Amino acid sequence: MKKFSLIFFLFFSACSSPSPGLNSCKYVREAVDGDTARLADGRLVRYIGIDTPETRKKINNVWKEDFQPWAGEAKAFNRSLTEGKCVEIETDAEPVDKYGRILGYVFIDGKLVNEELLKQGYAVLYTRPPNIRYSQRFITAQKYARENKKGLWGDYETIDSDSAFKYVGQIRSVQGTVRSTYRSEKCIFLNFGANWKTDFTAVIFSSSLPSFKAKGIDPAVFYKNKKVEVTGRIREYNGPEIIVNIPEEIIVLDN
């Protein structure tokens, strides 16, 4: 009994010792999907800076299992890294989201799980200000995955902006020419068609503009009439749209 107690004490002590800049070690009960984990105390951790394909869909206000392409692989990879293990969680400017989930950078054995998911092609960039501490590392990780056709990058076909409506809810890369732009009080809209109410649009919120300004880019001017590729989750709001948070989420294909 004494031997068991000693082993438990040593395990608990090692798992509870915080690293510099990190919260104490937390036990992961389960990997919920590719970018979310549930801790032993029931709290959810949403990984900062990335987005992975969804494992479920809301139908008639009820969530049902519905695996998008690469959702299962992303969840399995997250599980292999975190489930049943102790992880250290680092928060950024916003420690929780509007749903009460912890917003975290998840570390285990010296690895940043958020970054690993990007590097292996199971996730795409979703870096939203003000939570941008590791954005440059994430940009580099996605570039590596894309260049080496890792995961979804070796499988997903780029779609044209006219077809974006077919993929609402999914992560995709969309190509097209920015026909017009519009600057409102809250956003800049990059319109890919003649009808902004039905055609594909890339949306940049005002809170994200500093990252563009830092690179000398005024989105309303710079992207107009250029052929570009935008990667992210396609949403439905006055037609299909992708919310863009940093310049690296838009690739200019011509000048």
What's the pLDDT tens digit per position in 173-227? 999 999 999 999 999 999 999 998 899 999 999 999 999 999 999 999 999 999 9
CA R_g for the chain: 20
Instruction: Please tell us whether the domain made up of 157-252 is placed in CATH 2.40.50.140.
Output: yes
Reported as a single tens digit per residue, the pLDDT across 91-123 is: 999 999 999 999 999 999 999 999 999 999 999
| Count of alpha carbons within 13 angstroms of residue 2, beta-carbon side | 0
pLDDT for residue 67: 74
Q: Residue 222: which residues within 8 A CB-CB, separation 6 or more?
A: none
Phi-psi region of 153 (alpha: psi -120 to 50; beta: other; left: phi over 0): alpha
Taken as a whole, the chain contains a residue count of: 255
pLDDT for residue 195: 92
CA atoms of 51 and 171, how far apart (whole Å) = 8
pLDDT for residue 20: 39
pLDDT for residue 59: 67
CA atoms of 197 and 115, how far apart (whole Å) = 36
CA atoms of 16 and 39, how far apart (whole Å) = 14
Residue 50 has pLDDT above 60, yes or no: yes
3-state SS, 132-194, equals: CCCHHHHHHHHHHHHHCCCHHHHCCCCEEHHHHHHHCCCEEEEEEECCEEEECCCEEEEECCC
CA atoms of 212 and 79, how far apart (whole Å) = 35
Residue 81 has pLDDT above 50, yes or no: yes
Q: Which residue has the higher pLDDT, 144 or 14?
A: 144
Average of per-residue pLDDT values in the chain: 89
Give catalytic residues, as residue numbers. 46, 54, 101
pLDDT for residue 58: 66
CB burial class (10 A; 0-12, 13-18, 19+) of residue 229?
middle
Its CATH architecture, for the domain 16-152, is Beta Barrel (2.40)
Reported as a single tens digit per residue, the pLDDT across 217-229 is: 999 999 999 999 9
Cβ atoms 26, 91 nearer than 8 A: no
Structure letter (DSSP) for residue 207: G
Q: Locate 165 and state its tokens.
A: 């409506």
Q: Which residues pair with 1 in a beta bridge?
A: none
Q: Are 16-152 and 157-252 equal in CATH topology?
A: yes
The ranges assigned to domains in the chain are: 16-152, 157-252
pLDDT for residue 60: 67
